[in-house]
Amino acid sequence: MHVGYMTYLLRLYGISSLKEKRAVIKPLISDLRKNFNASVVETGKHDSKQEAEVTVSIVTKERGELDSLLQSVWQRIIWNGIEIIGENGEIW
């Protein structure tokens, strides 16, 4: 069994309020949970309008599957038009 997590620091453009930020981040979190069977939570930058920190955690049987899923999560975030400006994670 393999466990991995990745914390993404995201830059949001055109956001002028925390309400607008929530309107972008909440659907992203729901999308990642639904499509990757992952645990996803906003872990930081709660008071910043232009940045968000989201952590994704996934458990798989095979290491290759975990690597593939984490790469797909990264691509899905980019596909949603959000810029990743930092990432940090671990795999066990």
Over its length of 92 residues, how does the chain's per-residue pLDDT go in tens digits? 999 999 999 999 999 999 999 999 999 999 999 999 999 999 999 999 999 999 999 999 999 999 999 999 999 999 988 999 999 999 99
> Can you spell out the DSSP letters for 29-76?
HHHHHHHH--EEEEEE-TT-SSEEEEEEEEEESSHHHHHHHHHHHHHH
Fold of 2-91: Alpha-Beta Plaits (3.30.70)
Provide the residue ranges of all domains of the chain, joining segments of one domain with +.
2-91
**pTM for the whole thing?**
0.91
pLDDT at residue 7, as a whole number? 98
What three-state secondary structure class fits 20? helix
- Pull the structure tokens for residue 20: 């607008």
